[in-house]
């Protein structure tokens, strides 16, 4: 009896011992520093080699990444097993993709900063281009024009977009709501130049061909802006809990008052930040303004009369059709681009601040 148990135990132990290496191997892990060591090694050997043979920095980085991924995969495969190795490979691929995506974005900002900082001075913000031939001058007229046209576009599209979204969420049922949703979705992807052509064709009906005015640009921009406002507002209204509405109805509050006093205040933070982002989206549009508004050298504060200058179009024309000498024009083009980027960045930050300030109390 006892011999039997002893025998089984030894058999089990033997089995356990036989299984031990594979168990140990499965649980084995690469040390923390191993990927870094492999990265450093492949960077020195492969990247350094590529650089030494004059193959350029890009190839060096790419070759290093490939060798690093392969070596880590193999090392992990041998030490940790197949699943861990695939996990590591996926991590490396994902990180590489992130870096690859970041490179051009960082490069854009760096280039615009480096080229635009030269003319980022007081004169740029206070002078127009009237009578300026070479050096000097500024984009005062373009900045004013951009702000004016965008403001009119916002004034036109925010009420329309907001009320459309309210209709879709609170009232919309059946075919009408479905078709509105579909067209809003489709209009979100409409090419901006088509919006410009639309505004031009519309105004040409009334004022004849060859008409250019700031208001026309506002109409084109609001065509682009309304669907964005509708989409973001709709998303925000959808996440207002139904219990709030039902509580209001139960207290006998009419529907319009519920919407005005309960639904909108609850979601005002998200709506406001969505609208700000929509403004940021259209303020940099070049193509519709190029068609609808054109360009001029002087300040024009009347959006219903003749051409106006806008920052994107100003930057575009300074870049593709510089005068003689070229350098002042190119400098102004870069600075205009820098100002645009700063405006968009400020609007984005503003959206975050608004979202935080207006957030309903007690919900976070």
Report if residue 203 touches another protein, rule: CB under 8 A: no
CA distance 198 to 178: 24
CA quadruple 341, 346, 352, 353: dihedral, nearest 10? 180
Region of 83-91, 148-156, 213-221, 246-254 interacting with another protein (CB under 8 A): 83-91
Report if residue 82 touches another protein, rule: CB under 8 A: yes
Report if residue 19 touches another protein, rule: CB under 8 A: no
**Helix ranges restricted to H, 117-254:** 122-126, 140-166, 174-188, 192-207, 214-238, 242-250
CA quadruple 338, 341, 347, 351: dihedral, nearest 10? -140
Report if residue 312 touches another protein, rule: CB under 8 A: yes
Report if residue 36 touches another protein, rule: CB under 8 A: no
Region of 49-57, 118-126, 194-202, 252-260 interacting with another protein (CB under 8 A): 194-202
The candidate with the shortest Cα–Cα distance to 266, out of 274, 275, 278, 258, is 258
Region of 2-10, 79-87, 168-176, 298-306 interacting with another protein (CB under 8 A): 79-87
Residue pair 34/75 in contact (Cβ under 8 Å)? The answer is yes
Report if residue 293 touches another protein, rule: CB under 8 A: no
Residue pair 226/160 in contact (Cβ under 8 Å)? The answer is yes
- Candidates 51, 55, 61, 84; binder of another protein (CB under 8 A) is 84
Buried b (16+ CB within 10 A) or exposed e, 187-209: beeeebeebbbbbbeebeeeeee
Using the minimum distance from each CB to another protein, give the nearer residue, 127 or 198: 198
**Which residues inside 159-188 make contact with another protein, applying CB under 8 A?**
182, 185-186, 188
- Per-residue contact flags (x/-) with another protein for residues 90 to 129, judged by CB under 8 A: xx---------x--xx--x---------------------
Region of 27-35, 38-46, 111-119, 290-298 interacting with another protein (CB under 8 A): 290-298
Neighbours of 85 (CB within 10 A): 19
> Among all chains, which residue has been given the structure tokens 């329309």?
160
CB of 184 to another protein, least distance (A): 10
The contact set with another protein (CB under 8 A) reads: 74, 77-78, 82-84, 86-87, 89-91, 101, 104-105, 108, 182, 185-186, 188-194, 197, 200-201, 209-210, 286-287, 290-291, 294, 312, 316, 319-320
């Amino acid at each position: 009896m006892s011999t039997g148990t002893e025998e089984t135990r030894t058999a089990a132990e033997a089995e356990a011992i036989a299984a031990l290496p594979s168990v140990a191997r499965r649980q084995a892990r690469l040390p923390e520093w191993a990927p870094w060591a492999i990265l450093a090694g492949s960077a020195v050997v492969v990247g350094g080699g590529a650089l030494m043979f004059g193959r350029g920095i890009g190839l060096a980085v790419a070759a290093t990444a490939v060798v690093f991924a392969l070596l880590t995969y193999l090392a992990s495969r041998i030490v940790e097993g197949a699943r861990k190795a695939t996990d590591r490979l996926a991590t490396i691929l994902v990180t590489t993709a992130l870096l690859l995506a970041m490179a051009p974005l960082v490069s854009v900002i760096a280039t615009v900063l480096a080229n635009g900082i030269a003319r980022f001075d007081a004169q740029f913000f206070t002078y127009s281009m009237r009578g300026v031939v070479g050096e000097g001058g500024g984009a005062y007229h373009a900045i004013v024009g951009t702000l004016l046209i965008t403001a009119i576009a916002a004034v036109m599209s925010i009420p329309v977009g907001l009320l459309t979204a309210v209709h879709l969420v609170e009232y919309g049922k059946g075919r009408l709501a479905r078709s509105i949703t579909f067209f809003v979705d489709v209009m979100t992807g409409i090419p901006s130049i088509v919006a410009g052509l639309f505004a031009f064709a519309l105004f040409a009906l009334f004022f004849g061909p060859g008409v250019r005015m700031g208001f026309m640009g506002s109409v084109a921009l609001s065509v682009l802006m309304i669907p964005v406002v509708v989409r973001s507002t709709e998303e925000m209204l959808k996440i207002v809990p139904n219990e709030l509405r039902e509580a209001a109805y139960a207290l006998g509050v009419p529907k319009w008052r519920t919407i005005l006093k309960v639904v909108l205040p609850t979601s005002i933070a998200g709506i406001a930040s969505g609208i700000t982002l929509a403004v940021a989206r259209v303020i940099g549009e070049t193509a519709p303004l190029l068609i609808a508004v054109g360009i001029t050298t002087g300040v024009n504060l009347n959006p219903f009369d003749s051409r106006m200058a806008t920052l994107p179009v100003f930057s575009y024309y300074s870049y593709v059709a510089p005068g003689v000498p070229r350098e002042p024009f190119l400098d102004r083009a870069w600075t205009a681009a820098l100002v645009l980027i700063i405006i968009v960045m400020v609007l984005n930050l503003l959206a975050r601040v608004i979202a935080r300030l207006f957030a309903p109390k007690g919900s976070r």
